[in-house]
Amino acid sequence: MTYQPKKSSPADLVVPRTHESGFGLIESVVTLLIVSFGLLALAYMQSWGQRFGQDAGARTQATMIANDLLDRIRVTGIATSDSGATTYTATPSGNLTCAPGTVSAANDRDCFYVQISERIPTAAGAIAISGNMYVITIAWLDRYAEEQFDSDDNGLSQAECENNGRLWYDDNTLRWYPTSAKPSKASCLVSQNWSLMQ
């Protein structure tokens, strides 16, 4: 038996049709949309991170300032006298100076307010005494509340601040305001308290 090659017909030479493959316009648009949403989410997360970073920085500075004053009160022992308590809780007036090596209630109080104005420019502080306990309060401007609730840029209402656990602040002077005293412009503050029992 001899081998004879098979004869091919023109129909055998035609390549069968298959589905088209490749990267089309629809796939490009879908990919572009997914990447765009991802970049928007990344930008949003970065802005939130910066906002919380600013608050964390202010909270850290406030804690360091309050701890410094608490240590001064504890070490000097001045606070145990009635005159020392009166001096610490008095509202400072005029230009404040801070002499770190000086041991006096007035200097400690002034250093407290100077440190606040230098380290947290948008903050206010207060020293109060109740019985034999000193309560130090530092409050700073809450940028998140300003952005979140002040949509018309006219300041926040007292109810908006209080309902969100915040306080009033008059940005013309670095003085403490209770929530019942309405300052010239409403701004919200985040506050934190530290206590020392003598």
pLDDT in tens, 123-133: 778 888 877 78
pLDDT band at 1 (very low <50, low <70, confident <90, very high): low
Q: Which of 97, 116, 119 is nearest to 106 (CA)?
A: 97
* SS3 of residue 166 by DSSP: coil
111 within 8 A of 98, measured Cβ to Cβ: yes
pLDDT score at 106: 81
DSSP per-residue string spanning 13-25: HSPPP----S--H
Q: Which two tokens stand for residue 126?
A: 């207060």
Q: Parse the chain into domains and list their residue ranges.
A: 59-197
Report which residue type is found at 62: A
pTM of the model: 0.61
Whether 37 has a pLDDT exceeding 90, the answer reads: yes
Bridge partner residues of 129 (DSSP):
134
Whether 155 has a pLDDT exceeding 80, the answer reads: no
Cα 50-53-57 angle, rounded to 5 deg: 140
81-128 per-position pLDDT tens digit: 555 556 666 666 667 788 878 878 888 888 888 888 888 877 778 888
